[in-house]
Amino acid sequence: MSPGLPARAGRDDSTERQAVNQLDRNARGVYLITVTPFTDSGALDLASTDRMVDFCLDAGVTGLTVLGIMGEATKLTIEESRVFVRQVLARVNGRVPVVVGASAPGFAAMKELTDSVMDLGASGVMVAPPSTVRTDDQIVSYFQMVGETLGASVPWVLQDHPVSTGVQMSTSVVLRILKNSPTCVMLKHEDWPGLAKLSAIRAASEKGELQRVSILTGNGGGLFLPEELTRGADGAMTGFAWPEMMVDVLAAHARGERERAHDLFDAYLPLAKYEQQAGVGLAVRKFLLKERGVIASDFVRKPGPKLSAQDVDDIRFLVKRQEKRLREIG
């Protein structure tokens, strides 16, 4: 268990399992943001959910994040959210931590979902600010209330993703939130551009200005992964139809092979770029996961994008080029 995080009331029975899975300040590696698989008629697809979990773990991810923006969280009922999280947790069975997106328009709903998924065995939750907070003080105050709402035993991830939230958090605001929040153990760094911010937060943590915090990145939709590792990121928390790419890039970086890390990354970059297009990107990702045999349907609940024949042609062309390039670099 992470130091400073007291045991969560009522979960003593699972201390052993939780000790392994508790989200903490030293988390590293690849936390894959998963999609939520549906059947062709739009119902939750639990069989595909199981396959997706296996696929991610086989690829070597060190954690999973569910019910994020790309997990169509707002399109589920509370009950569907619970069913899906329960299925993921059962399949993961304690092998890696599972983080659940808990952003909500109000604290009552945030508390309700958090308590529910923590009781099911989640390792922590992730919270992004609502689009209504603007000034530094409003943002800091909001996350003060988030910490109070979640309570002393729930580790949480601060999501900094201006492209989707419209909320711009300066470096000094992120540092204020981290200092204020003993239970905020991880920063999901997705500001763009964000390399300077990442460097500054890492430096502050290393200089002892604040407790160490895990920094996982998704800057520009994950398009800056090798650069971010060089700046001190602990890994990635983002989605991509080839999670093995991120695992391999991290491994190369850990071995000190900077060129190799870039070679691998660059081989996937054209398709990563295509998959990261705002709006249509989720349809691309589900299409690719279906093509790879991971999920049975690429159904996206409305409102959601659809691929055109031209999109599919682009994607298939890029996949072939990616395969060729991967063979070239070995």
Total residues in contact with a copy of itself, by rule CB under 8 A: 63
CB 174 within 8 A of CB 152: no
Q: Which of 84, 63, 123, 95 is nearest to 243 (CA)?
A: 63
Which segment (7-15, 55-63, 87-95, 223-231) binds a copy of itself by CB under 8 A?
A: 223-231
Select the residue interacting with a copy of itself from 3, 208, 256, 279 (CB under 8 A).
279
Cβ proximity to a copy of itself, 56 vs 118, nearer residue? 118
**Residue 215: φ, ψ to 5°:** -120, 110
Element (H, E) at 71: none
Q: What is the rounded CA–CA span in Å between residue 182 and residue 180? A: 6
Cβ proximity to a copy of itself, 112 vs 244, nearer residue? 112
* Burial (CB count within 10 angstroms: exposed 0-12, middle 13-18, buried 19+), residue 162: middle
Select the residue interacting with a copy of itself from 138, 153, 180, 211 (CB under 8 A).
138
Q: What is the rounded CA–CA span in Å between residue 63 and residue 139? A: 27
Select the residue interacting with a copy of itself from 2, 153, 180, 199 (CB under 8 A).
199
Select the residue interacting with a copy of itself from 4, 6, 10, 193 (CB under 8 A).
193
Interaction between residue 66 and a copy of itself (CB under 8 A): no
237 is annotated as contributing to ligand binding = yes
Element (H, E) at 63: strand 63-66
Token readout for 171 is 């470096």
Q: Which of 180, 145, 143 is nearest to 159 (CA)?
A: 143
* Dihedral sign of CA atoms 11, 12, 18, 22 in order: positive
Select the residue interacting with a copy of itself from 280, 289, 294, 295 (CB under 8 A).
280
> For 13, which DSSP code?
G
Select the residue interacting with a copy of itself from 68, 97, 124, 220 (CB under 8 A).
220
**Contact pattern from residue 306 through residue 325 relative to a copy of itself, giving x for each residue in contact according to CB under 8 A and a dash for the rest:** --x-xx--x--x---x----
Interaction between residue 109 and a copy of itself (CB under 8 A): yes
Select the residue interacting with a copy of itself from 281, 296, 297, 312 (CB under 8 A).
281
Token readout for 184 is 């905020």
Q: What is the rounded CA–CA span in Å between residue 221 and residue 282? A: 12
Token readout for 157 is 């991830």
**Contact pattern from residue 252 through residue 271 relative to a copy of itself, giving x for each residue in contact according to CB under 8 A and a dash for the rest:** ------xx--x---x--xx-
Q: Residue 21 CB, nearest distance to a copy of itself (Å)?
A: 27
Q: Residue 165 CB, nearest distance to a copy of itself (Å)?
A: 10
* Positions in 68-107 near a copy of itself (CB under 8 A): 72-78, 80, 104-107
Q: Which of 112, 192, 115, 138 is nearest to 160 (CA)?
A: 192
Select the residue interacting with a copy of itself from 31, 274, 287, 299 (CB under 8 A).
274
* Dihedral sign of CA atoms 80, 83, 86, 91 in order: negative
Annotated binding site: 237
Sites of contact with a copy of itself (CB under 8 A): 72-78, 80, 104-109, 111-112, 131, 134-138, 141-142, 145, 168-170, 172-173, 192-193, 195-196, 199, 220, 223-224, 227, 230-231, 258-259, 262, 266, 269-270, 273-274, 277-281, 301-303, 308, 310-311, 314, 317, 321
